[in-house]
Amino acid sequence: MAINATQPLVRPALLAALDIAEAEARSTSIAVEAVLAEARSRLTENVVAAAAACMRLSAAQLKKGVFDKRSYQLKRQQSLGLIGELDVLPAVEAALGAELELDLAGRSLRLQEELLSNLVGERLVLECANSVASSGTWVDVPTLVSAAHLDCHAPGGLLALAPRVRVAELQLEAARKGIESAQAAQFPTIDLTLGANKVSESGSSTFPFPRSSSGGVVGVSVRVPLFASGALSAKVSEAVAQQDRARGELQQQRAKIESELHVACNQLVGSQLRHQSLRSKEWVGTQQIQGRSRQRALGAADLSAQLDAEERGLAVREELISNWTTYWQAVSRIDAALGRSHATVLEPPTLTIGLRELAARDEGRSSHAVRNTGLRLDIGD
C-alpha cells in the first residue's frame, strides 16, 4: 500500500488567479450596489414627480378660484354698464385657461399614479387632502452637512465614492493581475511530494512468520515550460490589451460621474439659494394679500387689488414648486451616482411636502379655491 501527497510550494499562476477572483467578487458586489442605487434613484424621481404633480394640482385649483372671481367681478361691472364687453374678455379667457391648466394638472397626477403603480407593482391612488387650512406647511429645503463634500475634484471627495468608478477600478486591478497570471505561466512551478509505503509478506518455507516493511519518500518536483513561448506571449499581449480597455473604462466612468456630480451639485446649491429668495418673496406676497384684505374690509381697496396680490402669490408658489422639484432631482442624481455613500453627503431625504396657503379669504370662495396638499416622502435604505 502506498500513500502520496503533493503540496504546491511555488505556483505563481495560481496566486494571480486567486487575486483576480477576489477582485472580480468585490467588483460584482459593488456593481449590485450601483444597480440598487439606480433603482432607488428612479423611485425617488417618480415620487418627486408625483408630489410635484399633486402640488401643481393644488396650485391650479387656487389659480382657477382667483380667475373665476375676477371674471365674476368684471361681468358684474359689465351688467351695471361700468365697462364694455371687450374689457371682460381677457378675464374670461384667463379663467378658461386656468380651467384647462387644472384639467392638465389632474391628468398629470393620474399619469404619475400609473407610473408609480407600474414601478412598485401595486395600484396606487395619490390623494390630495381636501381640508381647507390657513396654515399649510412647507418644509425648508434640507441643508448640506458639509459644503466641502461638494468639491468633486478633491481627493477622497464625491468621485471616489461612486460605485461605478469603484467597479472600474477593481476591473483595472483584475486586468493587472491578469497580466501577472499570463506572465507567471512561463515561470517554473515547484511542488513538494510526500509518500509512505508499507509492504506486507506472508510466511515462506525459509521464514514461516509473516512480516511487513514500511518507508517514507520526500521529493521536490520542478516543472519548467520549454516550448510554450509563443502561446505565453499571446496570452500576455491579450492581458495587456484587457488592461488598456479597463483603464479606458475607468477614465470614461470618472469623466461621466464627474460631469453628473458637477451638474447635480450646482443644481443643489442653486436651488437652495433660490429657495431662500423665493421664501422671502412668498412672505412679502402673503403680507400684501393680508394687507389688501384688511384695506378692503375698511373700504380702502377693492376686490381687484386683492386679486392682483393673490395672482402674484400664485406665481411665486409655482416657482417654489419648480425649484423644489429641481432640488430633489439633483438629490436623486447624486444618490444614483454615489449609491449608499450619499448618506455621508446629504441629510436623509425625508421630508413632508405641503403648500403654504394664501391668506384666508372672507368671501366668494370657489369650490376649487383652496386645497392643501400633503405627501410624505421616505426615500432611503
Residue 127, SS3? coil
**What is the CATH T-level fold of the domain 11-194+245-378, as seen in this structure?**
Outer membrane efflux proteins (OEP) (1.20.1600)
Query: Mind listing the pLDDT tens digit for each residue in 209-224?
Result: 455 555 555 555 656 5
Terminal alpha carbon distance of the chain: 62
> Residue 202 has what pLDDT?
56
Domain-wise residue ranges, the chain: 11-194+245-378
The one-letter amino acid at 194: L
For Cα atoms 371, 376, 378, give the angle at the middle one, nearest 5 degrees: 165
The one-letter amino acid at 113: E
Query: Do 109 and 60 form a contact (C-beta atoms < 8 A)?
Result: no
Q: What's the Cα-to-Cα distance from 125 to each of 45, 98, 116, 299, rounded to whole Å?
A: 17, 24, 9, 46
pLDDT (tens place) for every residue of the chain, 381 residues total: 445 555 554 456 666 677 777 777 777 777 777 777 777 777 777 777 777 777 778 778 888 888 888 888 888 888 888 788 778 888 888 888 888 888 888 888 788 777 777 766 666 655 554 322 223 333 333 433 333 344 444 434 566 667 777 788 888 888 787 777 776 666 666 665 655 555 555 555 554 545 555 555 555 565 656 555 666 677 777 778 888 888 888 888 888 887 887 788 888 788 878 887 888 888 888 888 888 888 878 877 777 888 888 888 888 888 888 888 888 888 777 777 776 544 434 433 333 333 333 333 333 333 333 233 333 333 333
Orientation of helix 12-79 relative to helix 303-338, angle to 10°: 170
Q: What is the pTM of this model?
A: 0.57
